[in-house]
Amino acid sequence: MRDTIFLALGSLCFLAAAGLAYAADTQPASVTIDNFSFNQASLTVKAGTRVTWTNRDDIPHTVVDADDPKAMKSPPLDTGEQFEHTFAKAGTFHYFCSLHPHMQGTIVVQ
């Protein structure tokens, strides 16, 4: 019985440590929108990372997945507003501003 309890406690400690390591590996990342461009136009993150876009321009912008179906599509973001998306799986994700299509960016998820 005592061995079972120690085994269970050891397993819980291992799982907790693994969870903390995973959380540390997936720190949030950010992209700012300024002067009609995505600063950090190309960003590489780990799977499970939440990316936040913040509009610093004085006019609205959007963040829209370039692929169909759209995995992410923000509403128009006014100055200071943010949009968040968590990238759960590996891949290369292209996005753009639907109001200003020349504004483009890429998130590479490893």
Q: Could you read off the pLDDT of 13-58 as tens digits, one per residue?
A: 444 444 444 444 679 999 999 999 999 999 999 999 999 999 999 9
Which of 46, 57, 35 has its CA nearest to residue 107? 46
Tally Cβ neighbours within 10 Å of residue 79.
13
> Is pLDDT at 67 greater than 50 in this prediction?
yes
Model confidence at 3, pLDDT cuts 50, 70, 90, reads: low
pTM value? 0.76
42-52 pLDDT, tens digit each: 999 999 999 99
Are 55 and 78 a contacting pair, CB within 8 Å?
yes
Residue 95 CA to residue 68 CA, distance in Å, equals: 11
Amino acid 11: pLDDT = 46
- Identify the CATH assignment for 27-109 out of 1.20.1510.10, 3.40.1350.10, 3.40.50.150, 2.60.40.420: 2.60.40.420
Amino acid 12: pLDDT = 43
Where are the chain's structural domains?
A: 27-109
